[in-house]
Structure 1
Amino acid sequence: MTTPRPLSLAVLLPLAACASTPDAPPLPETQEWFWQALSSHCGEAYEGALASSDARDADWAGKRMIAHWADCSDSRVAIAFHVEDAEAPGGWNRSRTWLLTRTSDGLRLKHDHRHEDGSEDAVTQYGGDTLSAGTAGVQDFPVDAFSIALFEREGLSASLTNVWRIEVDPAGTQATRFAYQLTRRNDPTRLFRVEFDTSSPVTPPLPAWGW
């Protein structure tokens, strides 16, 4: 597993000065820094690729990927995750959007999965909430009760102990990176990880399906 890089104090202090609003509940200091770092990329898009080597993800290897900060507010950041796919319309699968929100208890990650016509997939809105303050650059989201029930209903028993991770560096800092990662508490061999170079924005893609 890649070791997260520490963020410089010079970058974090200005971010921490940003106050919450009525629509954005106050967060622990490290989560506030994380949220401001995440929000600093709003409107941008970045290219990335698979960074892990689990054989279960062989179909993802070598495919271009784009993360697009498509919609931002004080309390929610929506990041569309586009994956190159020769069989999808226009050569891209645009079915996935990561939704990060501020809650009264911390941060939440949900996965919005849609079909090309915009309708929801049978497996959507799953994710989890932070159980600790994390760090300024890394937050973990263990699977929540809603998602466990969804996975059980859909026969996805392997996903019952999912833990998702988001890593982000503030925009404008040197050699910045954004990463999305999946591990499982009951399977130490499971690792899915994609990384994006946030130091070099690309042209934003078409909207994700349903957006």
Structure 2
Amino acid sequence: MKKLLVIILLVSSAKICAAQKDSEFFTTLSSHCGKKYYGETIFPDDPSHDFAGEALEMHIKDCTDEEIRIPFKVGEDTSRTWIISKTDKGLLFKHDHRHKDGTPDEITMYGGYADDKGNTLSQNFPADDYTAQLIPAAKTNVWQLTFDPEKKQFIYYLERHQKPRYKAVFKIK
């Protein structure tokens, strides 16, 4: 019985620590509300990649106590928004894709919940079940959102099958 109580306390403590890290990252991100970052694709260094040579822009724009929306522009394409939400399960990161008329793309709202490896400056978001069903090839995706220590750069990084898939580095101007 004592062992069970210790296990319950350890699990509860780990959940509280993870929730605190989620909250700290959310606060860091919120503190940049209204700021625009300009970036470029770093990886893959492949001229055939959809984003190759395109100017990237992210605008930490719409912020509430529960949600942050970050429109992500690729060249002239404004169809993407990243959404970070506080939920009962922790931070949730989603990719909202829209057509020009504002209707949802058929591949939209994929992402996942923050894992327990994050901190004030960085969070990892492994693909959730919805993502695995929507895009089976993405079931092993892990997105990482990171600020550098000076908070002048923001890095969007994606792994699939534990290998680098995409990386963009944004700088505030």
What's the TM-score, normalizing by structure 2? Answer: 0.82
Partner Cα distance (2:28, 2:47) in 1: 31
Deviations 1:64-111 (A, max 9, x none): 111011211001000000011xxxxxxx00010000011122211001
**Is the deviation greater in 34-43 or in 92-101?**
34-43
Which of residues 115, 119, 129 is equivalent to 1:135? 119
Q: Which structure has the higher relative contact order (CA within 8 Å, separation 6+)?
A: 1
List, as ranges, runs of 4+ consecutive aligned residues in structure 1 with deviation greater than 6 Å: none
Secondary structure of 2:24 counterpart: helix
Secondary structure of 1:148 counterpart: helix
2:12 matched to 1:36? no
Q: Alignment identity in percent?
A: 36
Secondary structure of 2:143 counterpart: strand
1:78–1:98 CA contact under 8 A, matched in 2: yes
Partner Cα distance (1:121, 1:56) in 2: 25
Deviations 1:39-67 (A, max 9, x none): 01111212111121354863322211110
C-alpha deviation, 1:174, in angstroms: 4.2
Distance 1:106 1:59, change over 3 A: same
Partner Cα distance (2:137, 2:152) in 1: 32
Partner Cα distance (2:60, 2:48) in 1: 24
Unpaired runs of at least 5, structure 1: 1-25, 85-91, 152-156, 201-211
The one-letter code matched in structure 2 to 1:121 is D
- The residue aligned with 1:164 is 143
Partner Cα distance (1:41, 1:27) in 2: 22
Matched residue pairs, number? 157
Deviations 1:116-169 (A, max 9, x none): 000000000111001215111110111101111112xxxxx4212111111125
Unpaired runs of at least 5, structure 2: 1-16
2:37–2:57 CA contact under 8 A, matched in 1: yes
C-alpha deviation, 1:187, in angstroms: 5.4
1:70–1:79 CA contact under 8 A, matched in 2: yes
Partner Cα distance (2:47, 2:106) in 1: 22
Distance 1:179 1:114, change over 3 A: same
Secondary structure of 2:32 counterpart: coil
Distance 1:110 1:175, change over 3 A: closer
Secondary structure of 1:134 counterpart: coil
Higher share of residues assigned strand: 2
2:37 matched to 1:49? no
- The residue aligned with 1:6 is none
Secondary structure of 1:51 counterpart: strand
Secondary structure of 1:58 counterpart: coil
The one-letter code matched in structure 2 to 1:181 is Y
Partner Cα distance (1:149, 1:56) in 2: 30
2:108 matched to 1:117? no
Deviations 1:10-62 (A, max 9, x none): xxxxxxxxxxxxxxxx9633222211110011112121111213548633222
The one-letter code matched in structure 2 to 1:117 is D
1:31–1:133 CA contact under 8 A, matched in 2: no
Computed over aligned residues only, the root mean square deviation of the Cα atoms, in angstroms, reads: 2.1
- The residue aligned with 2:92 is 108
